[in-house]
């Protein structure tokens, strides 16, 4: 029998919130972490992307909040502003009926306004390390009543150079506390933090044969650097994703790709660490609302992002290492939904695919780059479907006389063919500029080569949050067989079974 949230002995106000959020049953990491959290045990949690780690710590954390006590009782530390916002929104929803107060605290926001918000006695704060330290130093935050600390995406905080800040935060909260740490990997510095600052932590590692969830179908396409862009646009035409994320290796790449896609008639925008906070937020908002179909991003920019409705991930440039592959494709196939991931590799990069497959213990299927004809064919197919649905649903009386006239003059087949041609998106060959990237060499072959995107790994990169997407009726006949399955309003995990 599967465990229910009821079995976990949650209070009625939390049960109410959880059911309003549409969660039917706990995900595996939740089933294991929530009881430990409620027993005040320290926990180190590791689980696949998109499997509900936020609620895994959020539910016990909020259960333990005493709303009558007007003090900060829990601190969640997250690597970026967008992630801090995303986590605090999820905690707000979980604590909605309990009326617990959550405040996100991050850099780039007016500090005086934050100080005023802090005076309103939030029960929980979710902050980025730098800004939390700032408030600790200014003594504008009182942490003496904190009984729970959560470190979310600890390895990412390490990558971003926050390790000392985290140590300093942990030294500033009462030692009689519970600490929960979530990390995709456990490099030594994180292990040391666990040894130094945690009490007998219980390791909750959701056993998964594979690092990636099974509901993402994974493909690789062998293609030459110069052909990648055409392959991408053909795939976009054929697969017609609802929302797609295209990953590029560098910031320049992201800028050039989003510009090139726009020139070719796609609604695309890019996010990376050099853009202003306001710009990144507005781009993410548009993407969540469906006003942008294609989001082009660097690895770090998209980490942890929980955007519902991302159906396709394209690795325009092969990812640096297996971990970044796992995080990239993990932007789709979240909460049990299905997704597709396509990784472009140049012939010299084929080793990297092998290496990823070895690490994730999952084979990628080979997909042949589509030809122009296939792209046109599928566009035609879409036109035909459009015509079918117009015939089914619309009153065409007004157009019939003209149709008769045309049919008197021409052969029926010619008339229909002309109409299909007119309605079908022609392949667009507007010239675009893309600077070539050198192939990435497999690490095992070429140790010590510095990573070309490491300059993206810096403070203040960002994430965003789930949103609703406008309905999109486009459909296609190729490559997206699983699309839309599982997008029902009840949210259920199927990837654990
Ligand atoms: N029990 C549940 N049933 C259905 N949906 C859930 C459940 N728990 C969480 N979700 C939803 O699943 C989505 C992914 O959750 P979350 O962002 O916490 O994943 P994560 O494990 O932290 O992923 P990442 O490793 O990418 O950070 C969210 O939209 C969340 O609301
Ligand atoms: Mg997360």
Check residue 72 and give its pLDDT. Answer: 97
How far the first Cα of the chain sits from its last, in Å, is: 13
Q: What is the mean pLDDT of residues 364-368?
A: 93
Do 217 and 201 fall within a single domain? no
Confidence of residue 103 (pLDDT cuts 50, 70, 90): very high
- Digit-coded pLDDT (tens) for 65-100: 999 999 999 999 999 888 999 999 999 999 999 999
- Residue having the nearest C-alpha atom to atom 1 of ligand 1: 26
Tokens of 168: 């300093």
- 163-171 helix and 188-197 helix, angle to the nearest 10 degrees: 0
Whether residue 490 is predicted with pLDDT greater than 90 in this model: the reply is no
Position with higher pLDDT, 61 vs 307: 61
Least distant ligand from the CA of 46: 1
Position with higher pLDDT, 427 vs 455: 427
277 part of a folded domain? yes
Last residue of a domain, one of 155, 184, 207: 207
Confidence of residue 321 (pLDDT cuts 50, 70, 90): confident
CA of 93 to the centre of ligand 2 (A): 16
Q: What is the mean pLDDT of residues 98-121?
A: 93
In sequence order, the 6+-apart residues with CB closer than 8 A to the CB of 371 are: 234
Do 53 and 70 fall within a single domain? yes
- Digit-coded pLDDT (tens) for 333-355: 887 788 999 999 999 899 899 99
Predicted complex ipTM exceeds 0.90: yes
Position with higher pLDDT, 195 vs 480: 195
Last residue of a domain, one of 207, 240, 266: 207
Do 384 and 412 fall within a single domain? yes
Provide the percentage of residues in the chain whose pLDDT is more than 70: 87
Strand arrangement, sheet containing 148-151: 102-105, 124-127, 74-77, 148-151, 178-182, 43-46, 202-205
Three-state SS annotation for the chain: CCCCCHHHCCCHHHHHHHHHCCECCCCHHHHHHHHHHHCCCCEEEECCCCCCHHHHHHHHHHHCCCCCCCCCCEEEECCCHHHHHHHHHHHHHHCCCCCCCEEEECCCCCHHHHHHHHHCCCCEEEECHHHHHHHHHHCCCCCCCCCEEEECCHHHHHHCCCHHHHHHHHHCCCCCCEEEEECCCCCHHHHHHHHHHCCCCEEEECCCCCCCCCCEEEEEEECCHHHHHHHHHHHHHHHCCCEEEEECCCHHHHHHHHHHHHHCCCCEEEECCCCCHHHHHHHHHHHHHCCCCEEEECHHHHCCCCCCCEEEEEECCCCCCHHHHHHHHCCCCHHHCCEEEEEEECHHHHHHHHHHHHHHCCCCEECCCCCHHHHHHHHHHHHHHHHHHHHHHCCCHHHHHHHHHHHHHCCHHHHHHHHHHHHCCCCCCCCCCCCCCCCCCCCCCCCCCCCCCHHHCCCCCCCCCCCCCCCCCCCCCCCCCCCCCCCCCCECCCCCC
Do 244 and 352 fall within a single domain? yes
Last residue of a domain, one of 153, 176, 207: 207
CB distance 57 to ligand 1 below 6 Å: no
Residue of 15, 22, 28, 54 with the most ligand 1 atoms within 8 Å of its CB, for mutation: 54
CA of 245 to the centre of ligand 2 (A): 18
Confidence of residue 151 (pLDDT cuts 50, 70, 90): very high
Handedness of CA 289, 293, 298, 303 (dihedral sign): positive
421 part of a folded domain? yes
Do 388 and 440 fall within a single domain? yes
Whether residue 285 is predicted with pLDDT greater than 80 in this model: the reply is yes
Domain that holds residue 133: 5-207
Check residue 141 and give its pLDDT. Answer: 95
220 part of a folded domain? yes
Do 139 and 72 fall within a single domain? yes
Tokens of 170: 């942990």
334 part of a folded domain? yes
Do 165 and 220 fall within a single domain? no
CB distance 323 to ligand 1 below 6 Å: no
CA atoms within 13 A on the CB side of 352: 26
Confidence of residue 455 (pLDDT cuts 50, 70, 90): very low
CB distance 53 to ligand 1 below 6 Å: yes
Domain count, the chain: 2
Do 358 and 302 fall within a single domain? yes
497 part of a folded domain? no
CB distance 465 to ligand 1 below 6 Å: no
Do 260 and 385 fall within a single domain? yes
- Residue having the nearest C-alpha atom to atom 22 of ligand 1: 53
Do 342 and 396 fall within a single domain? yes
Whether residue 481 is predicted with pLDDT greater than 70 in this model: the reply is no
Q: Report the candidate in 122, 118, 166 with the shortest Cα–Cα distance to residue 139.
A: 118
CA of 207 to the centre of ligand 1 (A): 17
Do 132 and 147 fall within a single domain? yes
470 part of a folded domain? no
Q: Report the candidate in 395, 456, 468 with the shortest Cα–Cα distance to residue 271.
A: 456
492 part of a folded domain? no
Whether residue 396 is predicted with pLDDT greater than 80 in this model: the reply is yes
Confidence of residue 491 (pLDDT cuts 50, 70, 90): low
Whether residue 253 is predicted with pLDDT greater than 90 in this model: the reply is yes
Which range scores top for mean pLDDT: 52-61, 181-190, 282-291, 451-460?
52-61
CA of 493 to the centre of ligand 1 (A): 9
- Digit-coded pLDDT (tens) for 410-428: 999 999 999 988 888 776 7
Do 199 and 221 fall within a single domain? no
Confidence of residue 129 (pLDDT cuts 50, 70, 90): very high
Q: What is the mean pLDDT of residues 155-164?
A: 87
Q: What's the CATH code of the domain at 269? A: 3.40.50.300
489 part of a folded domain? no
CA of 333 to the centre of ligand 1 (A): 11
């Amino acid at each position: 029998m599967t465990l229910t949230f009821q079995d976990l002995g949650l209070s009625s106000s939390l049960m109410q919130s959880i059911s309003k959020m549409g969660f039917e049953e706990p995900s595996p990491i939740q089933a294991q972490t929530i009881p430990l959290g409620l027993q005040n045990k320290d926990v180190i949690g590791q689980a696949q992307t998109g499997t509900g780690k936020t609620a895994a710590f959020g539910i016990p954390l909020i259960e333990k909040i005493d709303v009558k006590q007007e003090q900060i009782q829990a601190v969640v530390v997250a690597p970026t502003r967008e992630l801090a916002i995303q986590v605090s929104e999820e905690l707000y929803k979980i604590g909605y009926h309990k009326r617990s107060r959550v405040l996100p605290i991050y850099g780039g926001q007016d500090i005086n306004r934050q100080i005023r918000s802090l005076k309103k006695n939030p029960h929980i704060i979710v902050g980025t390390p730098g800004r939390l330290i700032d408030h600790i130093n200014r003594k504008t935050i009182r942490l003496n009543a904190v009984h729970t600390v959560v470190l979310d995406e600890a390895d990412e905080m390490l990558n971003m150079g926050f390790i000392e800040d985290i140590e300093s935060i942990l030294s500033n909260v009462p030692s009689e506390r519970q600490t929960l740490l979530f990390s995709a990997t456990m490099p030594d510095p994180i292990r040391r933090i666990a040894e130094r600052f945690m009490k007998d932590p219980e390791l909750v590692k959701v056993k998964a044969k594979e690092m990636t969830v099974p509901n993402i179908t994974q493909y690789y396409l062998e293609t030459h650097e110069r052909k990648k862009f055409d392959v991408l646009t053909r795939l976009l035409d054929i697969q017609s994703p609802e929302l797609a994320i295209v990953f590029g290796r560098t910031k320049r790449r992201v800028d050039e790709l989003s510009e090139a896609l726009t020139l070719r008639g796609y609604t695309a925008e890019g996010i990376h660490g050099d853009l202003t906070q306001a710009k990144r937020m507005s781009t993410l908002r548009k993407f969540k609302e469906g006003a942008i179909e294609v989001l082009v991003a660097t690895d770090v920019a998209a980490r942890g992002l929980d955007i519902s409705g991302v159906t396709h991930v394209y690795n325009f440039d092969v990812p640096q290492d297996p971990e970044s592959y796992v995080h990239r494709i993990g932007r789709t196939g979240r909460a049990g939904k299905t997704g597709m991931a396509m990784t472009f590799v140049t012939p010299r990069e084929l080793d990297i695919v092998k290496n990823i497959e070895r690490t994730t213990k999952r084979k990628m299927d080979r997909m042949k780059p589509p030809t122009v004809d296939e792209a046109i064919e599928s566009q035609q197919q879409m036109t035909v479907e459009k015509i079918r649905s117009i015939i089914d649903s619309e009153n065409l009386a007004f157009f019939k006389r003209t149709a008769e006239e045309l049919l008197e003059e021409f052969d029926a087949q010619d008339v229909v063919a002309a109409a299909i041609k007119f309605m079908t998106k022609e392949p667009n060959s507007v010239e675009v500029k893309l600077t070539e990237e050198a192939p990435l060499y497999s690490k095992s072959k070429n140790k010590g080569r510095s990573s070309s995107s490491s300059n993206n790994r810096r403070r203040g990169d960002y994430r965003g949050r789930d949103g609703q997407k406008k309905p999109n009726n486009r459909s296609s006949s190729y490559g997206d067989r699983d699309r839309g399955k599982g997008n029902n309003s009840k949210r259920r995990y199927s990837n654990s079974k």
